[in-house]
Amino acid sequence: MAATTEQALTPVPQIVARRVEPERTGWTSWVTTTDHKRIGIMYLVLTFVFFILGGTEALLMRLQLSQANNTLLDPKTYNELFTMHGTTMIFLFVVPIMAGFGNYFVPLMIGARDMAYPKLNALSFWLLVAGGLVFYGSIFFNPPECGWTCYPPLSSKAYLPNGGVDAWIFLIHLTGLSSLVGAVNFYTTIANMRAPGMGWGRLPLFVWSILTYAILLIVALPVIAAAVTMLLTDRHFGTHFFDASNGGSPLLWQHLFWFFGHPEVYIMVLPGFGIISEVLPVFARKPIFGYKAIAAATVLIGFLGFLVWAHHMFSTPSPTFVLVFFMLGSFLIAIPTGVKIFNWVATLWRGTIEFKTALLFCVGFIGTFLIGGITGVFLAVFPVDWQLTDTYYVVAHLHYVLMGGAVFGVFAGIYYWFPKITGRLLSEGLGKLSFWLMLVGFHVTFLIQHSLGLDGMPRRIYEYADVGHLELYNLISTVGSFILALGVLVTAVNVIRSAKNGPIAGPDPWKANTLEWFTTSPPPVNNFDVVPYVRSVEPMKDIRRQVERQMAPSEAPPAPVAESAVRA
């Protein structure tokens, strides 16, 4: 009995709090965070800064090329600029910004609390920071000047002895590790942490694209890691992997590089496709047309992406049957890509299209990416490629795919998801201004570059003689690039202004389809208090319908619970 009395005297509830650390605030809370949403925001901000840096490098190059025989930049600086531009845009902007969107939205879209490995997630981000610092540190010494492909022998110690190439190698290693760790995390999260009821057939298409992105990274990155390690040992430790005079082969580099490099293209554009597939149905107010076909096309493009690498090498000494194989492989990949475009257009067909900025960017994406896809078919026809490769035609093609494709997708994502991330809406007026400037600027810059290439202007040259219309065409392109830059700037201003002062968005401003709109904007640390059972690919539509039924009980069939309550 004594024990019971003692218990009764003890105050209830008894809470003993020991060593509970107060929640961190300020910048340390960001540095130490393992919350996927905060890491996602850091990814998005950091990669956008790199986008601005890479864009500035591009504008400097365009300034140099605006006049024939211009002397604004010397050849060394020019070579450094195109190396920095390509490397920055690919390894520090497009690939990681997709990881940023993935980080923020994959757990939310599948109804998870966080990523599977939150600490690894933080590691991914900080490795990216390290890669960016190592690479941009080189501008205080000697930036690399071998192009983003760094072909040996040019990138060997004999021809580029300074540390620029080494900085580039370590950038590849650090950002590669970052992406690899992140990819494993994405794969595990998507495989294991989906909401109840969310089978593979109910996975949002953006999540399908991030899944494929992760698998491509896991397969492709070890190859480039091996290649740059071989380049590093060639440069410093006396090996001869790529040295033809000692039994090595410069072509081996090209094979290894492009075995990674071509999947890398799909690593960059597939998540963009995923964003388009999420945004289009929301603003067309219509389900995505052919969900299964789009998901299957995503996976198929990922697979075929590994079978086409040598179409970057059509002008190397190769037997005809090798050329034919890679031509046909590249043709094959055009089929699922075309299917996606048809499906997107069919999604708009008979919808009720609301012209929000996010939708405009999607439409700009489809219209622009189509051109990049079509010029890709020209380049796949290898005899035609012999004329086009390494000219401005290829520069135009790759920007139609990566800028018109991936970047327009990124901007659609920014306008679509900003309200979820910040709880505030972006200005539609500024957004539309930004879209039109970017669309017009983009086409003025890059359409004419096809003609530059067809007229014989190779890429990566710092000056040219004014033969034919080269100077006029280049000037048009330069003017366009500044219009494009202005468009990007307008969005940057829009983001900065709206983050503090935009109108409050509420949890679901677009009446969207996927689970991230089920929680508050911005979401709480734990994302969801209750995770709903997922019954279709559009769980939010189901939930809204259910809420409507509860709001208007007269229109809905009476629920049994309500009946019993009335009788009582």
Partner 1 sequence: MARSPATGRSRRLAFALLFALVALLAFAGAAFGDAISPESGGSPNADEIDSLYKLVFVVAAVIFVGVEGALVYSLVKFRARKGAVPAQIRGNTRLEVGWTVGAALILVVLAAFTFAKLGDIRNPPNSGPNGLQLADSGALFASGPTKKLPPNGKSLNVCVNGQQYVWRYTYANDCANAPLSSVFSYQEMVVPVDTTVTLDIEAQDVAHSWWIPKLGGKFDAIPGYTNHTWFKIPGKLAGQVFTGQCAEMCGRNHANMTAQVRAVTPPEYEKWLDTRKADIKAADDAAAQQRKQIEQQTP
State the catalytic residues. Answer: 85, 114, 148, 178-179, 262, 264, 266, 277, 311-312, 337, 340, 459
Question: Using the rule CB under 8 A, which residue among 354, 466, 548, 563 binds partner 1?
Answer: 354
Q: Structure tokens of 509?
A: 């401003």
Q: Structure tokens of 335?
A: 């089929």
User: Which window, 181-189, 204-212, 431-439, 499-507, contacts partner 1 (CB under 8 A)?
Assistant: 431-439
Helices (H), 402-538: 408-422, 428-454, 470-501
Q: Which is nearer to partner 1, 39 or 438 (CB)?
A: 438
Q: Which is nearer to partner 1, 386 or 533 (CB)?
A: 386
Kindly tell me the burial class for residue 140, based on how many C-beta atoms sit within 10 Å of its own C-beta (0-12, 13-18, 19 or more).
Answer: exposed
Binding characters for partner 1, 319-338, by CB under 8 A (x = yes) = xx------xx--xx-xx--x
Question: Using the rule CB under 8 A, which residue among 59, 130, 384, 556 binds partner 1?
Answer: 384
Q: Structure tokens of 74?
A: 């010397």
Binding characters for partner 1, 66-105, by CB under 8 A (x = yes) = ---------xx--x--------------------------
Q: Note whether 200 binds partner 1 by CB under 8 A.
A: no
Positions 386 through 415 that interact with partner 1 (CB under 8 A): 386-391
Q: How far is CA 535 from CA 201, 334, 402, 510, 547, in A?
A: 10, 33, 35, 21, 15
Positions 539 through 568 that interact with partner 1 (CB under 8 A): none
Positions 437 through 476 that interact with partner 1 (CB under 8 A): 439-440, 443, 447-448, 450-451, 454-456, 458-464, 467-469, 473
Question: Using the rule CB under 8 A, which residue among 98, 112, 371, 402 binds partner 1?
Answer: 371
Q: Which helix (H) or strand (E) holds 190?
A: helix 164-192
Q: Note whether 350 binds partner 1 by CB under 8 A.
A: yes
Residue 565: which residues within 8 A CB-CB, separation 6 or more? Answer: none
Q: Are 357 and 386 in contact (CB under 8 A)?
A: no
Q: Round to whole Å and give the CA distance between 245 and 231.
A: 15
Positions 237 through 266 that interact with partner 1 (CB under 8 A): 244-245, 248-251
Cα–Cα nearest to 536, from 524, 545, 528: 545
Helices 408-422 and 357-380: crossing angle in degrees, nearest 10, is 150
Q: Which is nearer to partner 1, 225 or 440 (CB)?
A: 440
Q: Closest approach of Cβ 195 to partner 1, in Å?
A: 21
Q: Are 277 and 206 in contact (CB under 8 A)?
A: yes
Q: Note whether 363 binds partner 1 by CB under 8 A.
A: yes
Q: Structure tokens of 373?
A: 């896809």
Question: Using the rule CB under 8 A, which residue among 129, 218, 381, 489 binds partner 1?
Answer: 381
Q: Which is nearer to partner 1, 379 or 531 (CB)?
A: 379
* DSSP notation for 427-456: PHHHHHHHHHHHHHHHHHHHHHHHHHHHTT
How many residues lie near partner 1 (CB under 8 A)?
A: 95
Q: Which is nearer to partner 1, 77 or 229 (CB)?
A: 77
User: Which window, 120-128, 226-234, 381-389, 509-517, contacts partner 1 (CB under 8 A)?
Assistant: 381-389
Question: Using the rule CB under 8 A, which residue among 126, 303, 325, 436 binds partner 1?
Answer: 436
SS3 63: helix
Q: Which is nearer to partner 1, 163 or 351 (CB)?
A: 351
Q: Closest approach of Cβ 123 to partner 1, in Å?
A: 35
Kindly tell me the burial class for residue 411, based on how many C-beta atoms sit within 10 Å of its own C-beta (0-12, 13-18, 19 or more).
Answer: buried
Q: Which is nearer to partner 1, 79 or 179 (CB)?
A: 79
Positions 151 through 180 that interact with partner 1 (CB under 8 A): 151, 153-154, 159
User: Which window, 185-193, 260-268, 270-278, 375-383, contacts partner 1 (CB under 8 A)?
Assistant: 375-383
State the CB neighbour count (10 A cutoff) for residue 510: 20
User: Which window, 26-34, 39-47, 432-440, 513-521, contacts partner 1 (CB under 8 A)?
Assistant: 432-440
Cα–Cα nearest to 132, from 52, 41, 224, 229: 52
Q: Round to whole Å and give the CA distance between 307 and 75.
A: 36
Q: Closest approach of Cβ 141 to partner 1, in Å?
A: 17
Q: Closest approach of Cβ 148 to partner 1, in Å?
A: 10
SS3 554: coil
User: Which window, 39-47, 177-185, 261-269, 351-359, contacts partner 1 (CB under 8 A)?
Assistant: 351-359
- Residues forming beta bridges with residue 458, ordered by sequence position: 391
- Residues forming beta bridges with residue 424, ordered by sequence position: 504
Q: Structure tokens of 234?
A: 């060639």
Distance of CA 461 to the CA centre of its chain: 28
Residue 12: which residues within 8 A CB-CB, separation 6 or more? Answer: none
Binding characters for partner 1, 469-498, by CB under 8 A (x = yes) = x---x-------------------------
Positions 29 through 58 that interact with partner 1 (CB under 8 A): none
Positions 268 through 287 that interact with partner 1 (CB under 8 A): 284-287
